[in-house]
Structures are given as C-alpha cells and as structure tokens.
Chain A
Amino acid sequence: AQTVTQSQPEMSVQEAETVTLSCTYDTSESDYYLFWYKQPPSRQMILVIRQEAYKQQNATENRFSVNFQKAAKSFSLKISDSQLGDAAMYFCAYRSAKGAQKLVFGQGTRLTINP
C-alpha cells in the first residue's frame, strides 16, 4: 500500500519570505500523480499544484513550485513571496495512475504566516 509522510506538523514564515514544505511517499508503482492541497479554515480542499511522475520537469504555478525527486520519493512544495492568505493546512497526496480516484494523503502541515 502507498503511504505519504509529512514530517513537519507545523511551519511558520515571515510574510514575503520563502518556505518549503516536505513530503515523502512510498510506492512500488512507476506511474502516479502527486498533489499539494491547501485547506484553509473554511475546510474546503483546494488544489495548489500537481505533478505527473513521468514528467521530469518540476511543476510550477505562480508562487508555488515543487521539487520532485522520483528516485528519493520526495515531493516538496516551495512557496515564494508568502502572503497572509497562504496560511492554511497543506496536504501532500498521492494517486495511482491506474484505477479509480483514490487520494492517499499525508498528515498535513499547518503553515502560519507572520506579518
């Protein structure tokens, strides 16, 4: 079975600075997808960024980028120019490329932005 581990329960960063959230995963599959979701106090999970395992290029979405290391099974999220609205729980998630929709989530990292 696949597992996802986020080793940082909490992180904090000064507004406008850069922060990196860590995620490692375990799988025997070669084809899969990885995601970072954001869950603000409103509780709605919002997709931040996704990465296809077959793509070597790291995904980027505006201020959000990932460092995908397939051999090391590592998938970290970098947030540049942190904003107050970035404060939330961040979840790393894994999904197999075959079969149905089933996300395997990490335990989450609570990110605080200090003004």
Chain B
Amino acid sequence: KAGVTQTPRYLIKTRGQQVTLSCSPISGHRSVSWYQQTPGQGLQFLFEYFSETQRNKGNFPGRFSGRQFSNSRSEMNVSTLELGDSALYLCASSYTSGNTEAFFGQGTRLTVV
C-alpha cells in the first residue's frame, strides 16, 4: 500500500511569487492535514480537509489556502511568498477526521529567496 506522497520534494521560489504543493493521501483515506515546520516556530497546524471540506484552520494569514479534490488529493497554495514562508511543509492523512492515527508524507522543502 503506497504511503502519503508529497510533490515536489524541493522547491525554490522568489519573494512575491505563489506556489502550489500537492499531497496524495493513502488510498482510502479521506482526511488530509497540512503542517508547517520551521526551526523557529516548530510544527504548526495549517488546515485540515475532509471530504472536500475544510474542517479546521490554524492561525495563518489568508495567503495560505488549500483545497481537496474528490479523489482526496489535496493542494496547498501560498500566494505572495515571503522569506518567512521558507519551511518544510508536511501533509498527513487519516482514514477519517476522527481517526487517531495520522500518517505523514516526507514533506516539501520550500525555500523563498
């Protein structure tokens, strides 16, 4: 059974640009959550999608958005990139929103220059 797949693995963008990250959950999983990991702030919850609906959102500016498709794949978009958006972005999937076990992907390393 394939794990959680995040693409791309690495990304370099310029300030002011926008970026889209992709996450394919484990087959059959319908919940996808996103986290930002930085040395200064640690791991912070961005948002969760379940059955194409955003169920919960962390404390991030509106430049951070996401969506989920009918096949449960999720995308995260960051517009007007800032240097501080440089981070490892992790995606986690679970069977349902209430399921206690979440499986993580290997992340996308975003560098903003």
> A residues engaging B (CB < 8 A)?
33, 37, 42-47, 50, 52, 91, 95, 99-108
Contact = CB atoms under 8 A, between A and B. Distances in A.
Contact of A44 (B31, B94, B104): B104
Interface of B: 31, 33, 35, 42-45, 48, 50, 55-56, 58, 88, 90, 92, 94, 97, 99-107, 109
Interface centre among B42, B56, B88 (most CB of A within 10 A): B42
A54 to B, nearest CB: 12
B101 A101 contact: no
Interface centre among A45, A52, A108 (most CB of B within 10 A): A45
Nearest to B31: A101
Contacts of A106: 42
Nearest to A37: B104
Contacts of A107: 42
A101 B48 contact: yes
A47 B100 CA distance: 11
A91 B45 CA distance: 14
